[in-house]
Structure formats: C-alpha cells, structure tokens
Amino acid sequence: MKLTVALPKGRLFEASHKALRAAGLELPTIAGERELWARGDATDLILLRNGDVPVYVELGIADLGVVGKDNLEESGRDLYEPVDLGFGACRLSLIRRPGDAGPIRRVASKYPGITERWLRARGLAADVIKLHGNVELAAVTGLADAVVDVVETGTTLRKAGLEEREVILRSTARLVVNKTALKLKAERLRPLIARLRQAAKSARS
C-alpha cells in the first residue's frame, strides 16, 4: 500500500524528512530541493512550498504531509492534524513602527485570512493588503500602518527599525493527513502517527 508524502521546501524540509524516517517511514532519496518529485517502492515524495502542502493533502494528491501551523491555519483546508511535531517554531505577529499609536487602517501580510480574522475578533475595520515579498517594507515605507508576519528571533525587525506589538499565532510543524487516506490506508498511517506522537512527546519531556 503505497503512500505519497508532501514535504515543504526550505527551513522545515530537513527536520521533516528526518522525523518521518526516524518514525520508520521509508522515503525515496531526493537530490536536493530542485528535485520536486521522487518515487520509491513504498513511498513517493513531493516537495512543495509550505503553503501548498495543505492543498495537495486535502485534495488527495498526497496522503500526508508536514506544514507549519501558520500556513495550515491560513489555508483553511479540512485536514486531520494528529501530531504537533514540535520543530520549526515561530510566531505570527502584529508589527508596527516604534511610536505608532494611531488607528490601524491598512495591514499588509502574506497571511490575509488569519489577519482578517484577527481584525474582526477585535472589532477593527482595516483594509488587508496581500503581499508576497518583503512584508516589513510595507511598514517602513508607509504602505501600511501595520504588518502581520512571521517572527523567529526578531533580528530582521530590529534591523528594519520595527517592533513586534502582539503575537497572533504561535506556529510549529504539524503532521497533516488526508481524511480518506486515513481510512483506506490505516494499516500504514496509524502506526506511523503513533510513533510520531511518541517521538514528539519524548522530545518535549
């Protein structure tokens, strides 16, 4: 019973690959991130942008995958999320220029869905601008009154002369599973989930 796994390119790839192999999942060899698809006897591997992993898993192209909680929440996809893998920690935060205390009328972000929900929860009416590049630049240039972006250490913000005002979401890597695959391929998926849960628990203790 073959599985197809979707893993994110970039900073989560190595830890995701290592965690799945340590849990006993046989993965095909992939020659760096430029190779996007590798086939094996028991498992196929697809390399995707982090934000695309939930799409491929929900629509059944992949049976399971690893994605950051920030991208999972932004996607709004209907997936089974059985394990917080614990690595890739970061936070999604509201960021402004120091001293800015006026009303927020425009917010720029790569995460418009999360941003809009956060604004609604606080009764704030602001335009949300979706950007794909350097989000901090929107605050520096005055394109937006605030930005919502991923923060790891805060070094980039400080260099840009910005400050973190509020943490909106704390994110780590999550295992996500297609709900139909969980039923049809339970023989392979459920033991894998159990081992990953145990590994994540041991790492936290």
Average pLDDT over the chain, rounded to whole?
93
Where does the pLDDT of residue 14 fall: very low under 50, low under 70, confident under 90, or very high at 90 and above? very high
Give one DSSP letter per residue of the chain, joined into a string.
--EEEEEESGGGHHHHHHHHHHTT-------STT--EEE-SSEEEEEE-GGGHHHHHHTTSSSEEEEEHHHHHHHT---EEEEE---S-EEEEEEE-TT--S---EEEES-HHHHHHHHHHTT---EEEE-SS-THHHHHHTS-SEEEEEESSSHHHHHTT-EEEEEEEEE-EEEEE-HHHHHHTHHHHHHHHHHHHHHHHHHH-
**Calpha distance 62→4 (Å, rounded):** 5
What percentage of the chain exceeds 70 in pLDDT?
Answer: 98
pLDDT per residue as tens digits for the range 55-97: 999 999 999 999 999 999 999 999 999 999 999 999 999 999 9
- Write down the pLDDT at residue 44: 95
How far is the C-alpha of 153 from the C-alpha of 71, rounded, in Å? 19
Average pLDDT in the 5-22 region? Answer: 93
CATH architecture of 90-170: 3-Layer(aba) Sandwich (3.40)
pLDDT of the residue at 45: 95
Q: Where in the chain is the domain with CATH 3.40.190.10?
A: 3-88+172-204, 90-170
Predicted TM-score of the model (pTM)? 0.91
Nearest to 171 by CA among 103, 72, 97, 83: 72
Residue 155's pLDDT band (cuts 50, 70, 90): confident
pLDDT in tens, 163-178: 999 999 999 999 999 9
As its CATH architecture, domain 3-88+172-204 has 3-Layer(aba) Sandwich (3.40)
